[in-house]
A and B are shown apart, each in its own frame.
Chain A
């Protein structure tokens, strides 16, 4: 019977082809828009470094001045001062690894005729950073702990392509701002969809290179990091980011991201206790004038609190859901029209012995086919929608974003493809229930009389 019903359902798709096409288009467009928005949210919330995200903790401490405004949201808390970052880094703690980083923007120049210098976005960090964040290398490896002040550099695959045409550049020299560094590693494409490690969560572009923090300080590379200073230093921010390095290092300005890798929840508690104790000690030196408030949260916890895209994304999501709902309501009307126009045939089939459940099976199969086709069209529409949104994002960034990185944030993965088709079929079945119920309950005697 299934085979027979399948044949009838296929045949029925060809009946009033225009209406069938309109239904498929309606569902496809609705699904396309919905899945475009859902995919953007899905990619934004995709937790990077799945095996490590519960072990990597961002450490933030309230070292602000006494009159600073209260902060309740962890993501609004300031970073660490350089002094605190260094103290924690050198302290003996339960963390299995620790690292810190800050952003600098030097010019990178391979001094080759075939490549032009680039204004790079560089992370100044420690040797442990690469292992902690699961970085993969095409060539070479990270610098060692003893090289945290050495003139070495790890470059991204893209930078290697730009400066060295993609060849193995280990050992090559690159001018980094006012200094010169030797390439010790070339990173493979990073798989994390957002720059979690610098606290920006940006999904526009990744860092072009990584250098040891001490080397960055030695060459006084221009810093560009969110900086929060006490009132007495508020006017020195420009100098702190450009020329007055010593002033910055000894100030109470917070600008350094600090990460601890803690292997289990018990150790995390112990680490938090250690951090509190540290603040208590520092208070003894007249620092940390405010009540103790430390936020030590792993990546999972940070993601749970984050609102990526903010209100704009939520509004777009809501619009997409409403639009999809409207599409489904239209689909109900069209299904009803199409099905009821076949009621004479249904009467005949019922008279000839078809049970209600068989007729229901036939029409549900047709509904599922329409849903499947709508879902497939929806996948194509989603792909188009995501491509469009990606280009809008690129335009909004004044073309400074990296297309390869945006591809990660706007890609339609298999889970979303199957979700599109699944949602299309399921929702079409739900909205098809009423039209199917109506056609199944047509009285067999009602339309058999006459020519």
Chain B
């Protein structure tokens, strides 16, 4: 089991109100699965993704990532897990504009403390896979949106993570580019990497192995609920 969330809740508290972003959320994701997460705005998709990516703490419940219970882990340990096991792909690409493509892909590898030669090999392979090996000295501003997202994918996969979290990876792209990025994600998934993708696009969601809908902070997936109950 790559990801297992049992009764995970997230409550944002202010002096006046409590907002339940996730309510007793249950989600199990097997290794190698390609899951699409859909749901209307404000349903809790982003909160789920932040918690799944260890970017945010949850209020209650249990979360097992690759078999390890992550509750109560130190910030350093969470950083290490993020670095070694999770690849992030964001809607807005989040590339660092004053770094070359090579240096952008290098960022997570540097924090892992890999040797320079190893990093170089991984970066070249990752950029090769997304078809941008010839432009590794270019800066993000010199690329189209689709190309930038491919660089972000290269950055996500360069460290050989166990699973990818993609937050609206095609949200800023036109149809053609979106299709290319989707095909790239499918290729990566075929090689064994688990992918969880948040999307608004039903067409893209249909291409995933499983479609999980989040409504009002809860999973609306009858098939899964039954499976978990059994």
Contact = CB atoms under 8 A, between A and B. Distances in A.
Nearest to B75: A356
B90 A350 contact: no
Report the interface size class on chain A: 20 to 34
Given A349-B107, A449-B91, A355 B53 contact: no
B82 A351 contact: yes
Interface string A430-451: 0000000000000111001111
A143 B91 CA distance: 93
A445 B96 CA distance: 16
Contacts of B50: 445
B72 interface: no
Contact of B172 (A344, A449, A451): A451
Contact of A449 (B107, B112, B167): B167
Nearest to A357: B76
B96 A352 contact: no
A448 B55 contact: yes
B167 A352 contact: no
Contacts of B108: 352-353
A348 B55 CA distance: 10
A358 interface: yes
B79 A350 contact: yes
Contacts of B92: 448-451
Contact of A443 (B56, B80, B94, B111): B56
B186 interface: no
Across the A-B interface, give the 8 residue pairs with the lowest CB-CB distance, nearest first.
A353-B83, A445-B55, A451-B92, A352-B108, A445-B50, A353-B111, A355-B79, A445-B56
Interface in A1-60: 1, 4, 11, 15
B84 interface: yes
Interface in B143-191: 155, 167, 172
A355 B155 CA distance: 18
B174 to A, nearest CB: 14
Given A351-B82, A445-B50, 9 more contacts: A1-B111, A348-B96, A353-B84, A355-B76, A356-B76, A443-B56, A448-B94, A448-B167, A449-B91
Contacts of A445: 50, 53, 55-56
B46 interface: yes
Interface of B: 46, 50, 53, 55-56, 75-76, 79-80, 82-84, 88, 90-92, 94, 96, 98, 107-108, 110-113, 155, 167, 172
B79 A353 contact: yes
A256 B88 CA distance: 87
Contacts of A348: 94, 96, 107
A5 to B, nearest CB: 10
A445 to B, nearest CB: 4
A352 B107 contact: yes
Contacts of A358: 111
B99 to A, nearest CB: 9
A428 B51 CA distance: 37
Nearest to B90: A448
Contacts of B88: 351-352, 448
Contacts of A349: 107, 111
B66 to A, nearest CB: 15
A444 B75 CA distance: 11
B55 to A, nearest CB: 4
Contacts of A345: 96
A31 B110 CA distance: 37
Nearest to B56: A445
Given A351-B53, A351-B82, A353-B108, A1 B113 contact: yes
18 contacts: A1-B113, A15-B98, A349-B107, A351-B53, A352-B107, A353-B80, A353-B111, A355-B75, A356-B75, A356-B76, A356-B79, A445-B53, A448-B55, A448-B90, A449-B91, A450-B91, A451-B91, A451-B172
A11 B55 contact: no
A4 B46 CA distance: 31
Nearest to B87: A352
Contacts of B83: 352-354
Nearest to B46: A449
Nearest to A11: B98
Interface in A352-368: 352-358
Given A449-B167, A450-B91, A4 B53 contact: no
Nearest to A449: B46
Contact of A354 (B55, B111, B155, B167): B111
A444 B55 contact: yes
A449 B111 CA distance: 22
B94 A353 contact: no
A301 to B, nearest CB: 57
A342 to B, nearest CB: 10
A354 B107 CA distance: 9
